[in-house]
Amino acid sequence: MKLALVSDVHSNLEALRAVLDDIASQGISKIYCLGDVIGYGPNPRECLDHAMKFEVCILGNHDQAAMFDPDGFNPVALAAVYWTREELDKGSPPSKVNGRWDFLGELPRTRDEGDFLFVHGSPREPTNEYVFPEDVYNQRKMGILFDRIQRYCFQGHTHIPGVFTLSGDFVSPEEFDYEYRFTGEKAMFNVGSVGQPRDGDPRACYAILSDESIIYRRVDYPIEQTVAKIYNERDLDNMLGDRLREGR
């Protein structure tokens, strides 16, 4: 098995294209997306069109919010949800517009492949629950989460890449030189964000999964192009562009 894990594209077409080019350069054709194809960014239609070609795509909370009443979104994110809905209703022919909505409506919440579980949020609540690095200090929460997985869980949602170990640590990719070899012990892996990194590194992040290890990759993309698009949309707050420059 060898496949690419992407997550949290957030309508950032420039980042997604750069990552897809990098995936192709690694000789990989199978892509699993762990949710939030849309939301925040300026190109929801184009990013969905790419995601519809992936081997697997899981429902993220922003994908869900585009279809139903958003819950727990701050005003900036909420405005982006409503703008995204309007964008998804645009275009032609109608069959293509309807096809995108149908795709969103049919996204599964999980992908269970035995030792490998794929979610957006957490193994307990696949769509909405965050698992932050600091949660390693909450032994009760982490114990419950690890009880829900058979061996390995792969997730996104926080936009912070790294590994949660059964021994109670969170290890960033830099600490293991970007390749983490499986030991057989349970672990949870956040694959980071393609379109809106929040670990202080503005480069797009994704991971390559094999039977033996997970490799994290960072990819440069033309950030200012995405920022300019956001600035040009009245209903997208400028901070959604500003934060891309800092990876926050």
pLDDT, tens digit (0-9, with 9 covering 90-100), for 123-132: 999 999 999 9
* Number of domains forming the structure of the chain: 1
CATH code, domain with 102: 3.60.21.10
Helices (H) and strands (E) counted in the chain, each on its own, are 8, 12
AA letter at 174? E
Q: How far apart (Å, rounded) are the C-alpha atoms in residues 244 and 226? A: 9
Q: What would the pLDDT profile of 174-210 be if each residue is shown by its tens digit?
A: 999 999 999 999 999 999 999 999 999 999 999 999 9
Of the chain, the percentage scoring pLDDT greater than 70 comes to: 100
Residue 98 has pLDDT above 80, yes or no: yes
Range of the domain at 54: 2-246
Q: How many CA atoms lie within 13 A of 30 on its CB side?
A: 7
Of the chain, the percentage scoring pLDDT greater than 90 comes to: 96
pTM of the model: 0.95
State phi, psi for 226 to the nearest 5 degrees: -65, -45
Overall average pLDDT of the 94-115 stretch:
96
Confidence of residue 70 (pLDDT cuts 50, 70, 90): confident
Amino acid 229: pLDDT: 98
**CA 146 from chain center: how many Å?**
21
C-alpha distances in Å from residue 215, one per residue of 8, 57, 111, 181: 18, 20, 20, 9
Q: Which residue has the tokens 């869900």?
A: 64
Residue 72 has pLDDT above 90, yes or no: no
Q: Which residue has the tokens 């490998």?
A: 116
Which bin fits 104, alpha (ψ -120 to 50), beta or left (φ > 0)? alpha
Amino acid 49: pLDDT: 97
Do residues 9 and 33 touch, judged by C-beta distance below 8 A? yes
AA letter at 72? G
Confidence of residue 6 (pLDDT cuts 50, 70, 90): very high
Antiparallel, parallel or unpaired: β 152-155 and 111-113: unpaired
